[in-house]
Amino acid sequence: MSPAPSPRVIALDGPSGSGKSPVARGVARVLGLSYVDTGAMYRAATLAVLRAGVPPTDAEAVERVVSAATISLSSDPDAPGVQLDGADVTAEIRGPEVTATVSAVSAVPAVRRRMVAQQRELAAGGAVVEGRDIGTAVAPDAPVKVFLDADPDVRAVRRAGDRDVGVRAEGDVVQAVALDLARRDRLDSTRAASPLQAAADAVHLDSTALSADEVIARVLELAAAAGFAAAR
């Protein structure tokens, strides 16, 4: 599958909790680009697999279920969302069952081929695309590629905070999230098909001690240097 040229794509890769989503949305908003959350698409595919009751390790059954599913993404950075077979599943895909199973489903090569084709279509008009394999597989010729990372403990605190909105996450919750992140990082980085990996030409940013606004400013500098102009 040869990728279509992606002259107006900003590729943003990195592990969970590195801060990709707020950064991708902020950059897309300033530049007037679409926002493509590829993780949400793999999560919706995983929800389809769970609903169908097939084992996530049965690659053929997973492929069958995902091929029959219709996944649509809202690529408005101010109103991101995902639909599965016409119903909004934006909240449901963040649940623990999907989170526990998504690495297995996203490791199936046929699932990835399908998702990547759809992601390229979504990004064709210009987009900030966040994920794990954007700079390496979805848009390898993107003019701006960023690999965002952060200290694992900081990532766990951020992800735990996502669950307990407005409430300081308890230590044991953070510890459980840290273990789950380490498990997913390992699975996502070691799978055969398009593992989580920085593209050779990606700019590495560490968000451990930076706010989302500071990372957005840095990505906007890179975008400006590559010829992207702010939307009016």
Binding residues for ligand DC (CB under 6 A)? 16, 38-39, 42-43, 102-103, 106, 131-133, 184, 188
Report whether 159 contacts 177 (CB < 8 A). yes
The minimum distance between CB 177 and ligand DC, in angstroms, equals 12
The minimum distance between CB 166 and ligand DC, in angstroms, equals 21
The minimum distance between CB 231 and ligand DC, in angstroms, equals 25
Query: Residue 184 or 218: which CB sits closer to ligand DC?
Result: 184
- N-terminal to C-terminal alpha carbon distance within the chain: 36
Query: Residue 183 or 227: which CB sits closer to ligand DC?
Result: 183
Query: Residue 31 or 129: which CB sits closer to ligand DC?
Result: 129
The minimum distance between CB 120 and ligand DC, in angstroms, equals 12
Query: Residue 66 or 231: which CB sits closer to ligand DC?
Result: 66
Contacting residues for 11 by C-beta, under 8 A, at least 6 apart:
129, 134, 135, 138, 139, 142, 144, 145, 146, 199, 202
Query: Residue 6 or 106: which CB sits closer to ligand DC?
Result: 106
Which own/partner pairs from 194-198 qualify as long-range (CB within 8 Å, at least 24 positions apart)? 194/112, 194/116, 194/132, 194/133, 194/136, 194/137, 195/132, 195/133, 196/13, 196/14, 196/15, 196/132, 196/133, 197/13, 197/132, 197/133, 197/136, 198/13, 198/135, 198/147
Query: Residue 61 or 187: which CB sits closer to ligand DC?
Result: 187
Amino acid at 207: S
The minimum distance between CB 114 and ligand DC, in angstroms, equals 12
The minimum distance between CB 99 and ligand DC, in angstroms, equals 7
